[in-house]
Amino acid sequence: MTAIEVRNLSVSYGEYSVLRDFSLTVEVGEAVLIQGPSGCGKSTLLHAICGLIPGVIDAECSGEVLVFGELVQTLSVAERAKRLGIVFQNPETQLFCDSIEDEIAFGLENICTPRDEMARRIDEMLKLTDIEKYRFASPKELSGGQKQRVVLAAVMALDPKVLLLDEALSQLDRRGKGMLREQFSQLRSEGCTMLMVDHDDELVSIASRIINL
């Protein structure tokens, strides 16, 4: 079954063309790693797949993106959240609550998760990302790597069918990177579909396929 299908996608910012007639198919359970130099369109591709382009991000766009057979632009925000989870390169753009617990709870509340299930998922994600001791701390008090783990916890708590990772390990130390590589590998073994952008080779061992832009 196809999880993501990109058909002849072209994206430009004013006169600057980033992607031209780009097509990609990702099957359920694949872990696809996208590499390439800065400015080649890696992040732009993820933004288009999750529906931020066109619309939220000012860009000219043509082509189609389908998620499990449906055009991403026709999906509601709640439907996108259940199907697609994205972690941006800069965690600051995804943090806005007063505590770590609230950050993880926010998305769960918006998809009407039952209270007992919400509490279970929050506990599980805090432990999984090793940020239990920061549960009631403000994101502003954390380091860049810790903030990145909070975002990962909040996204993974929604149990999306597809994970979009944009340099998701970039601000983590060696221990944090190793821990999350193991978790991503486990998710892949459980059938989670992953589309990963990475400058280095941190996630090569997880990938089932590598695409160079």
Dump pLDDT digits (tens) for 60-72: 999 999 999 999 9
Q: Which two tokens mark 189?
A: 């073994």
Dump pLDDT digits (tens) for 102-118: 999 999 998 889 999 99
pTM here is 0.89
Residues facing 9 on adjacent strands: 22
Distance CA(96)–CA(140), nearest Å, equals: 9
Dump pLDDT digits (tens) for 163-172: 999 988 877 7
What's the first-to-final CA gap in the chain, in angstroms? 25
Distance CA(99)–CA(84), nearest Å, equals: 24
Radius of gyration over every alpha carbon of the chain, rounded to an integer in angstroms: 17
Fold of 2-212: Rossmann fold (3.40.50)
